[in-house]
Amino acid sequence: MGGRKRKPLARSGVFDPEDAKRIKHTRIGVWDMYEERQSDIRIPGSSRLETYGQMIQGLPYVWRMLKDICSIRRCWMLMSLYFLVEVAASLIPAVSLWYSGQLLHLVETAVEKRTVDKDVLLQVAAGRVACTVAERLLQYSRSRIALPLNMAIKQFYSAHIFNAMARLDVPTFEDPAIQRQLESAWSTSWKSSVAWETIEVTSNVIMTIIRVLSQVSVLIGVLRDQQDGTLLAVLSFSQSLFQWFSVRRSNFKSMVWAATTKNDDYVRMQGLKHLVDNPSHRKEVVAGNIGEHVTKLYREAAGRVGDEAGDFPEMRRAYVVKDRLTFMSILREPMRELPQIVFTLRAVQYPASIPISLASLTLINHTANSFSSSLFHLFGESFSLAEQFASVRKLYEISNIPNRIVDGETPFPENQQGLRNGISVEFRNVSFQYPGTEKYALHNVSFKIGAGQLCVIVGVNGSGKSTILKLISRIYDPTEGTILIDDRDIKTFKLADLRRAMSLLFQDYTYFPLSIKENIALGNPDLAMDEDKIREAARLGGALEFVDKLPEGFDTYLDRPVRDYYSSLPEGTTTLFGRQVDYSRVRGVGGMRSTDASTLSGGQMQRLAVSRTFMRSLISETESSVGLLLFDEPSAALDPTAEHDLFERLRALRGNKTMIFSSHRFGNLTRHADLILYMDDSEVQEEGTHDGLLKKGGEYARIWGLQAQAFL
Ligand SMILES: Nc1ncnc2c1ncn2[C@@H]1O[C@H](COP(=O)(O)OP(=O)(O)OP(=O)(O)O)[C@@H](O)[C@H]1O
């Protein structure tokens, strides 16, 4: 069948494998497959209705897409050319059919008059040849136009999707439904372009209709006066309809399915395979001397599973092939022969008409074949068309996804100078649950940090320290209660202003897949081009020394996002294009990495993250537009000297700005703190200064005692 592979149409509702009425269960090897039964629960024609519904819903978006594409000058010209070529190409079969009709006419005259008009014969022959040449030329032009058009459209939409994704906040981005929506718009468009595919499919449908209509009208014209013409036409077309019907039935089975395996041995076998083929486990495998033991485990598991241990796609393919023999498919081939059989019987009846009927039969068969393939095409494409239209809708809808964190209207701060004296932060009865969880990460928390104060939040793992910092920066909003910034509800301020005025170093900081220079520079996009500032930030963060020692220095990519490709390199090749060849990806075409993130130590990575923070806020007190500095365990991976130096530099550069640390360690920092919040079980259990809390003799004092003792 022509056309593209069908993608499932997204439907509402839920898929419940336990629902035996709607779901069919099949065992395939070690797998349990659950398929949605289609025929018995569907109103006849409903899927078609759904398809048309989807198409109509998508139409305004497709129109917008066409307008967007045509607004790119180059695309407009290429598109017009593309459609011209397509229309010309779809008319060729009809023209060639017309020539065949002329040929038939010649034969007819020849039979009657026993002479052939040579000029007409030559003309017809030349016409037929011209048709095939034109077909080839048009095919070539189509591919030449399609490539640049596709690339231009893809480029345009990749920027559109990029922007749609870049603007989303954390709770929105983490929502599984949004993830799914993004993925369906993003993944397909990354590989090929939704917009381009839509143009292709739409034009395919239009062209198929033009092709069928033009061919049928030529055929009617040619066969109008032929004896048996109608009978042969009906037979040929009905067999192609039959074919279409039988294949359609077997091909379009349920697209809604899920599969799982409950075979523990099979699962263990896969785990063991990863254990031995993944380089990251090798150290442990060797040091633990477990090679022989895991081989034994693997053999035992494999023995129990037997030959059924195929992965799902492989087993399913085998299953689908087994299932293909249907009654319709057996009848399909004999049906093909039907016109010939009828024709032979007619020839026996009327021997005088043989040459004419023979020619008409060929003509009709030819058209019927092309008609039947067009029909297949049209059917497949009309489904694709609905899917494509739905994809275009999704493509545009992602730029309208509302963010969960609602923007405020008041500019912040009222005066830029005020920022230098810090920002005050107050929590009033704040409770918070992470989306989709029942447990409170913070429960009824209240405290006030004055402008310019240094606050340290301490407490055990999971007590809610990081969550406080995330709420202050409005990564999330509280479930209950209010947060005040400079005595006003945080929600009233413009988000962009608020985030510009704060700097947050996360505990689980990540590396952008960009160069070290950009990793630091993105701390402050306004200074991104200032190399001196970047070096200074790296120095303050304690990263300058080791970055300078890297072969590519600040231009080093920690994890190069684009791989180089190679194939069958001679064994002695260890470096290529100045980079190490990564033989861990030996299958097929391989990739190469440059300095990998894993070649830096945890402490070095943390120094880079701290450098980004310095870039953002602490390069110089006067230039900074930040009034609140939030640090979540900034020194967890640093050695004691580095930690000491870091805190010294932070304290020296912060001036009067408010600074909030979350930390496990009681020491350097807590002693200087204006306010210590001791957290336990999602609540602030104790608050005060170091001396005050020691005097109180509560949990803080007890843990301080424990840590101090360790050094005695
Ligand atoms: N993204 C999340 N989704 C769901 N629950 C979360 C998420 N992040 C944290 N939690 C939960 O919220 C609670 C508080 O976590 P939080 O990270 O604030 O603790 P913490 O005091 O900073 O811990 P640590 O000292 O280990 O960094 C924990 O129970 C944690 O499991």
Distance CA 34, CA 634 (A): 49
- pLDDT digits 0-9 by tens, 332-384: 777 767 767 776 777 677 766 555 556 666 777 777 777 777 777 777 777 77
- Cα(525) to ligand 1 centroid in Å equals 30
- Cα(462) to ligand 1 centroid in Å equals 5
- pLDDT digits 0-9 by tens, 110-158: 777 777 778 888 888 899 889 999 999 999 999 999 989 988 888 888 8
Token look-up 């301490």 returns 458
- φ and ψ at residue 148, rounded to 5 degrees: -65, -35
Ligand 1: which residue has its CA nearest to atom 4?
A: 434
- Cα(178) to ligand 1 centroid in Å equals 22
**CA 152 from centre of chain:** 20
Instruction: Find out whether the beta carbon of 171 lies less than 6 Å from any atom of ligand 1.
Output: no
- pLDDT digits 0-9 by tens, 263-283: 989 999 999 998 888 877 887
Instruction: Find out whether the beta carbon of 369 lies less than 6 Å from any atom of ligand 1.
Output: no
- Cα(173) to ligand 1 centroid in Å equals 18
Q: Which atom of ligand 1 is nearest to the CA of 633?
A: 27
Which of 596-605, 607-616, 617-626 is predicted least confidently?
Answer: 617-626
Q: Rounded mean pLDDT of 471-487?
A: 95
Ligand 1: which residue has its CA nearest to atom 7?
A: 434
Ligand 1: which residue has its CA nearest to atom 28?
A: 462
Which of 217-226, 575-584, 639-648, 659-668 is predicted least confidently?
Answer: 575-584
Tell me the two tokens of residue 452.
């310019």
Instruction: Find out whether the beta carbon of 413 lies less than 6 Å from any atom of ligand 1.
Output: no
Inform me whether the pLDDT recorded for 621 exceeds 60: no
Distance CA 198, CA 4 (A): 12
DSSP 18-73: T-TTTEEEEEETTEEEEEE--GGGSPTTHHHHHHHHHHHHHHHHHHHHHHHHHTSH
- pLDDT digits 0-9 by tens, 485-532: 999 999 999 999 999 899 888 887 778 888 899 999 988 888 888 899
Q: Which of 176, 164, 171, 174 is nearest to 406 (CA)?
A: 171
CB neighbour list of residue 374: distance below 8 Å, 6 or more residues apart: 208, 211, 212
Q: How much is the pLDDT for 433?
A: 96
Inform me whether the pLDDT recorded for 595 exceeds 70: no
- Cα(358) to ligand 1 centroid in Å equals 82
Inform me whether the pLDDT recorded for 317 exceeds 70: yes
- Cα(439) to ligand 1 centroid in Å equals 10
Q: Which atom of ligand 1 is nearest to the CA of 664?
A: 25
Q: Which of 594, 552, 602 is nearest to 575 (CA)?
A: 594
Q: Which of 176, 655, 692, 74 is nearest to 419 (CA)?
A: 655
Beta bridge partners of 488: 485
Contact 393, 57 (CB under 8 A): yes
What percent of the chain has pLDDT above 90?
Answer: 28
Distance CA 9, CA 51 (A): 8
Instruction: Find out whether the beta carbon of 668 lies less than 6 Å from any atom of ligand 1.
Output: no
Inform me whether the pLDDT recorded for 108 exceeds 60: yes
Instruction: Find out whether the beta carbon of 463 lies less than 6 Å from any atom of ligand 1.
Output: yes
Instruction: Find out whether the beta carbon of 541 lies less than 6 Å from any atom of ligand 1.
Output: no
Q: How much is the pLDDT for 3?
A: 42
**pTM for this entry:** 0.74
Distance CA 412, CA 499 (A): 10
* Exposed/middle/buried for residue 411 (C-beta within 10 Å: 0-12, 13-18, 19+): exposed
Q: Which of 397, 299, 550, 368 is nearest to 57 (CA)?
A: 397
Distance CA 139, CA 133 (A): 10
Q: Which of 535, 502, 499, 530 is nearest to 516 (CA)?
A: 535
* Mutation pick for ligand 1 pocket among 170, 434, 437 (CB with most ligand atoms within 8 Å): 434
Q: Which atom of ligand 1 is nearest to the CA of 459?
A: 21
Instruction: Find out whether the beta carbon of 204 lies less than 6 Å from any atom of ligand 1.
Output: no
Instruction: Find out whether the beta carbon of 465 lies less than 6 Å from any atom of ligand 1.
Output: yes
Give residue limits of the domains in the chain: 61-250+342-399
- Cα(458) to ligand 1 centroid in Å equals 14
Instruction: Find out whether the beta carbon of 441 lies less than 6 Å from any atom of ligand 1.
Output: yes
* Mutation pick for ligand 1 pocket among 169, 467, 471, 683 (CB with most ligand atoms within 8 Å): 467
> What is the SS3 string spanning 566-603?
ECCCCCCCCEECCEEECCCCCCCCECEECCCHHHCCHH
Q: Which atom of ligand 1 is nearest to the CA of 682?
A: 14
Tell me the two tokens of residue 127.
């016409």
Distance CA 533, CA 537 (A): 6
Q: CB neighbours (10 Å) of residue 187?
A: 9
**3-class DSSP assignment, residue 354:** helix
Distance CA 519, CA 556 (A): 10
Q: Which atom of ligand 1 is nearest to the CA of 470?
A: 18
Taking each continuous run of H as one helix and of E as one strand, the counts in the chain are 23, 16
Distance CA 148, CA 193 (A): 13
Q: Is the C-alpha dihedral spanning 50, 56, 57, 61 positive or negative?
A: positive
CA 700 vs CA 212, 237, 460, 706: distances in Å: 84, 88, 11, 10
- Cα(464) to ligand 1 centroid in Å equals 6
Ligand 1: which residue has its CA nearest to atom 19?
A: 462
Beta bridge partners of 480: 431
Q: Which atom of ligand 1 is nearest to the CA of 436?
A: 4
User: Which residue would you say has higher pLDDT here, 283 or 250?
Assistant: 283
- Cα(249) to ligand 1 centroid in Å equals 52
Strand (E) or helix (H) holding 393: helix 354-397
Instruction: Find out whether the beta carbon of 459 lies less than 6 Å from any atom of ligand 1.
Output: yes
Token look-up 């039969």 returns 361
Beta bridge partners of 28: 31
Which of 231-235, 259-263, 484-488, 584-588 is predicted least confidently?
Answer: 584-588
Which of 3-12, 204-213, 304-313, 357-366 is predicted least confidently?
Answer: 3-12
Instruction: Find out whether the beta carbon of 400 lies less than 6 Å from any atom of ligand 1.
Output: no
Inform me whether the pLDDT recorded for 586 exceeds 60: no
- Cα(182) to ligand 1 centroid in Å equals 26
CA 149 vs CA 44, 112, 138, 165, 613: distances in Å: 40, 54, 16, 24, 43
Contact 208, 374 (CB under 8 A): yes
- Cα(184) to ligand 1 centroid in Å equals 30
Instruction: Find out whether the beta carbon of 542 lies less than 6 Å from any atom of ligand 1.
Output: no
Instruction: Find out whether the beta carbon of 468 lies less than 6 Å from any atom of ligand 1.
Output: no
Distance CA 239, CA 369 (A): 10
Measured torsion, CA atoms of residues 458, 463, 465, 469, in degrees rounded to the nearest 10 = -160
Token look-up 């033989």 returns 583
Ligand 1: which residue has its CA nearest to atom 26?
A: 461
Complex ipTM over 0.90: yes
Ligand 1: which residue has its CA nearest to atom 5?
A: 434
Inform me whether the pLDDT recorded for 251 exceeds 50: no
Q: Which atom of ligand 1 is nearest to the CA of 460?
A: 25
- Cα(637) to ligand 1 centroid in Å equals 19
**CATH architecture of the domain formed by 61-250+342-399:** Up-down Bundle (1.20)
User: Which residue would you say has higher pLDDT here, 88 or 368?
Assistant: 88
Contact 9, 386 (CB under 8 A): yes
Distance CA 172, CA 178 (A): 7
Contact 462, 442 (CB under 8 A): no
CB neighbour list of residue 315: distance below 8 Å, 6 or more residues apart: 28, 29, 30, 31, 308
- pLDDT digits 0-9 by tens, 186-220: 665 555 678 888 888 889 888 988 988 888 888 78
> How many CA atoms are closer than 13 Å to the CA of 699, on its beta-carbon side?
13
Which of 289-303, 316-330, 486-500, 683-697 is predicted least confidently?
Answer: 316-330
Instruction: Find out whether the beta carbon of 434 lies less than 6 Å from any atom of ligand 1.
Output: yes
Instruction: Find out whether the beta carbon of 466 lies less than 6 Å from any atom of ligand 1.
Output: yes
Strands 658-663 and 675-680: unpaired
Q: Is the C-alpha dihedral spanning 610, 612, 615, 617 positive or negative?
A: negative
Q: Which atom of ligand 1 is nearest to the CA of 507?
A: 27
User: Which residue would you say has higher pLDDT here, 667 or 464?
Assistant: 464
Ligand 1: which residue has its CA nearest to atom 24?
A: 461
Q: Which of 565, 552, 474, 469 is nearest to 518 (CA)?
A: 552
Describe the strand order of the beta sheet including 575-576 as a list of residue ranges. Answer: 575-576, 579-581, 592-593
Distance CA 188, CA 178 (A): 16
**3-class DSSP assignment, residue 706:** helix
